[in-house]
Structure 1
Amino acid sequence: QYVIMNGDTLEPLKIVSTRGMTVDTQEYHPEPRVAAIVASHEHPEFIINIKETGQVLLVNYRDIENMQVTTIDAARFLHDGGWDSTRRYFLTAANQSDAIAVIDSRERKRVALIDVDKIPHPGRGANFVHPKYGPVWTTSALGNDKITLIGTDPEKHPRNAWKVVQVLNGQGGGSLFVKTHPKSRNLWVDTPLNPDPAISQSVAVFDTAKLDAGYEVLPIAEWADLGEGPKRVVHPEYNKAGDEVWFSVWNRKDQNSAIVVVDDQTRSLKRVI
């Protein structure tokens, strides 16, 4: 189920069931989960991923007593996703279907369902301008080492739009998040669920202007100097200025964890918190 709440008080205003039929086999699912929820920049709508049924719901909240819901068939096991650079198109991973669905939030329809390699996991994904293919959106994966770049500009680069234009090889599978920033040329890729500690405790970084040059590995967990523990490096996030990247270093609950701050320009350690 999903709940529409008062934005000021968080009072629940309407609870809506997500039970329904799967998009592929047309079987009834009694308890499909809600995954990503994002707010449309085009209409007064929430865009909601229903995981097990594979549907994307566009829920118009202007009048919840006469609520209008657009149901879009995508692919099963929808999870997380994010906007392209224009904030018109929502790209979301159906991770067990090995696909990326593209939703046009302005026209309220699916424009593409893109096949990718095993278990994509983009987080919100990462947008940058590729030197050859123009604007792209990026996802890494849980199931393999590939970082997939998808063209996102149907107006100026129509031949590349909603197609896989390049696949990079990272450190390994087990990635959860990729990140970049409009002011940066760095593309950061974590691998916290990789079984190799050397990979799960570090991060790969690509130069978006020289992608074929490969990646540099930064020893984030080593910089944190936490001693024993799994020390999984996860979820790079930029500060507002775009000159720092912050990483979480996760340990067990009975061990110390840390946040490691990296200078984006020099790729050097700035601070451990």
Structure 2
Amino acid sequence: MKKLLFSLLFLITALFAESKFDSFYVHQLESKLDTSGKELYLKYCASCHHEKRLGVSGPPLLPVFLRKISDKKLHDIIKNSLPQTLMPKFDFLSDKDIDAIVKYLRTPAKNVVWNLDNIKKSYQMIDKKKRDIGIKNIENVSLVVERGANRVWIMEDEKVLDWFSFKNVHGGLKYTLDGKSFYVPTRDGWIGHYSLEEGRLKDKIRACVNLRNISLSRDGKRIFATCLLPQSVVIFDSKTLEPINKIDVDGKISALYELYSKDEAIFTFRDKAKLVKVDTNTLEFRYFDLKMPIEDFFIDPFEEYIIGTTRKGSRLSIYSIDSLEKVFESNIEGMPHLFSATYWYKDGKFYFATPHLKKPYVTIWQMYDWKLIKKIDIGGDGFFVKTHPASAYLWADNGNDELILIDKKDYSIEKRVPVKGKRYIHTEFSGDGRYAYLSIYESDGELIVLQSDTFKEIVRYFANVPVGKYNFINKNRVFYPRLFGMSIFKEKCWGCHHQTAEAFGPPFSEIAKKRDEGEIISQIVDPKHTYKELGYKRNSMPAFNLNEKELKSIVDYIKSWKDK
């Protein structure tokens, strides 16, 4: 009997031990699976998305950012990339490996804290040595982001004047309007300060863990950094990078853009139906309710309207900045990439064009008498479109090796291939429009400089994944009316006037030096009654029936020749 009891006890103990062993084994197996997902993430994803999933050049991959994306969709994104983004494909990974990464991305993360004390402690002085990099005309200075090499170039015309390294640089560089400095943001929250007059990257500071964009007050004294992690707006002194304030917000900021007509900036939320106006002097935030969120937007060249997308890009909506009343709305297919919208003037009207994400077309819109003019198939998913008054074309990319040229007169298409088999993206122009800069978006890529009117190649530079390019004139909205004025000059003034030389009428440089703005306007709209006051014996200038926006544009263009 004792033997039987002992045998039963041994059997029960053995079964219990085996059960514990199985449970331990299963737990260890699950832990191993979790660890393998983390290890795969660190190996393939962390360089762009941060080892703690906080985001670097790529967005943060924490559960709060991924909750609306299914496991199946995440799997597909990892395997096949995401159209019109810079993410590579990982189709060499097995489905099991990808599922392990997805499972790891769903694991919770601790609360991310980045307060004013963290910000202050992150400050770093970089270079104390001043030098002259040889800038002749700030208006033709362009900045180039070489993303694959973590570098920024400073170019003037076809020459590279300087370059510097800046880890995780992605785009969104901002100039001060005096042309003395620019600022470099990164997705992981750093802001660098480069002095153009001193030829050096002076210092840097980290605003947050994941940064959306930066903007400057119109007087250039303050930097505004919008942050997705933690959700906040951080304000800095632009000269010292000293943090002035950190204002927490509840929502994902789409972007913050400054106004040049008043001391104000505007931002919206992607996930909340609210718009915020910021007084850039007092730092007061005023919240306004909207009927639906504005996910992406730009401000028109005359700072009267907000042009935005709503309902996941299915609708284009236009609001008055002053009243916030909706003045126009149109259903659309595919999210328009409004950040890359481009503008031009033709035959008394103003236009903008935008590519559409995941759709193979560019749309043309008439501004102010708001309407859709044309939908143009460009043969692929484009990301950027750009033009300049010196060019007869819109320059667009379509996701492959083709440069798409859209004639601004009849919207006909011409295709060119800058480098066979290598992806072309993003054209930028010099301030005067003589040069066009093209990015060949590959690790063994190039930056190509063309003469914009003849397409003659001037020079090409090796570049590791060159992306955004930022010209001083073309990237500051305050100069957009002047660019329109260049087109108005070509249409209405060139027969009698030259910019710097005497023609039938006086040169613009002389007019700008001798006359104030009121005298210039009077002579344009009513020369019959103003010619005597300007010292002429007779009037030979016709009156021009220009609207307010045309008049501002041509006057801005004339005044730009004052010191030339």
Q: TM-score, normalised by structure 1?
A: 0.73
Contact 2:268 2:293 in 1 (8 A): no
Q: Which residue of structure 2 aligns with residue 180 of structure 1? A: 387
2:434 aligned partner, one-letter code: D
Q: Which residue of structure 2 aligns with residue 99 of structure 1? A: 315
Contact 1:43 1:106 in 2 (8 A): no
Contact 2:313 2:332 in 1 (8 A): no
- Report the Cα distance in structure 2 between the residues aligned to 1:242 and 1:106, rounded to whole angstroms: 33
Q: Which residue of structure 2 aligns with residue 35 of structure 1? A: 254
- Report the Cα distance in structure 2 between the residues aligned to 1:60 and 1:186, rounded to whole angstroms: 38
- Report the Cα distance in structure 2 between the residues aligned to 1:151 and 1:36, rounded to whole angstroms: 24
2:328 aligned partner, one-letter code: A
- Report the Cα distance in structure 1 between the residues aligned to 2:233 and 2:330, rounded to whole angstroms: 27
Structure with the bigger percentage of helix: 2
Q: Which residue of structure 2 aligns with residue 152 of structure 1? A: 367
Contact 2:233 2:248 in 1 (8 A): yes
1:165 to 361, 368, 373: 373
1:233 to 424, 439, 447: 424
- Report the Cα distance in structure 2 between the residues aligned to 1:74 and 1:260, rounded to whole angstroms: 45
- Report the Cα distance in structure 2 between the residues aligned to 1:72 and 1:91, rounded to whole angstroms: 17
Q: Which residue of structure 1 aligns with residue 226 of structure 2? A: none
CA deviation string 1:234-266 (max 9, x = no partner): 221111111222122222xxx322211222212
Shift of 1:74: 6.5
- Report the Cα distance in structure 1 between the residues aligned to 2:303 and 2:391, rounded to whole angstroms: 19
Q: How does 1:48-197 map to 2 (within 5 A)?
A: 48-64=267-283, 67-71=284-288, 73=290, 75-76=292-293, 78-79=295-296, 81-94=297-310, 96-107=312-323, 109-130=325-346, 134-153=349-368, 161-173=369-381, 175-192=382-399
Shift of 1:231: 3.6
- Report the Cα distance in structure 1 between the residues aligned to 2:262 and 2:365, rounded to whole angstroms: 25
Shift of 1:208: 0.3
- Report the Cα distance in structure 1 between the residues aligned to 2:244 and 2:281, rounded to whole angstroms: 13
Q: TM-score, normalised by structure 2?
A: 0.38
CA deviation string 1:146-194 (max 9, x = no partner): 21122212xxxxxxx2221222221222x111111123221011123xx
Structure with the bigger percentage of strand: 1
Alignment CA distance shift 1:54-1:182 (3 Å): farther
Alignment CA distance shift 1:103-1:182 (3 Å): farther
Shift of 1:110: 4.5
Alignment CA distance shift 1:219-1:74 (3 Å): farther
Contact 1:58 1:108 in 2 (8 A): no
CA deviation string 1:98-131 (max 9, x = no partner): 2333343355554334322212113241112355
- Report the Cα distance in structure 1 between the residues aligned to 2:301 and 2:459, rounded to whole angstroms: 30
Unaligned runs of 5+ in 2: 1-231, 462-564
Shift of 1:2: 1.8
Q: Which residue of structure 2 aligns with residue 13 of structure 1? A: 244
Q: Which residue of structure 2 aligns with residue 267 of structure 1? A: 455
Contact 2:355 2:385 in 1 (8 A): yes
Alignment CA distance shift 1:118-1:242 (3 Å): same
Number of aligned residue pairs: 230
Contact 1:117 1:146 in 2 (8 A): no
Give me the CA root mean square deviation. 2.5
Moved more, 98-107 or 117-126: 98-107
Instruction: State which structure, 1 or 2, has the greater radius of gyration over its C-alpha atoms.
Output: 2
Q: How does 1:253-264 map to 2 (within 5 A)?
A: 255-264=443-452
Contact 1:5 1:12 in 2 (8 A): yes
1:207 to 407, 428, 447: 407
2:416 to 204, 207, 218: 218
- Report the Cα distance in structure 2 between the residues aligned to 1:233 and 1:5, rounded to whole angstroms: 36
- Sequence identity, in percent? 18
2:445 aligned partner, one-letter code: S
Secondary structure in 1 matching 2:312 = helix
Shift of 1:94: 4.2
1:145 aligned partner, one-letter code: P
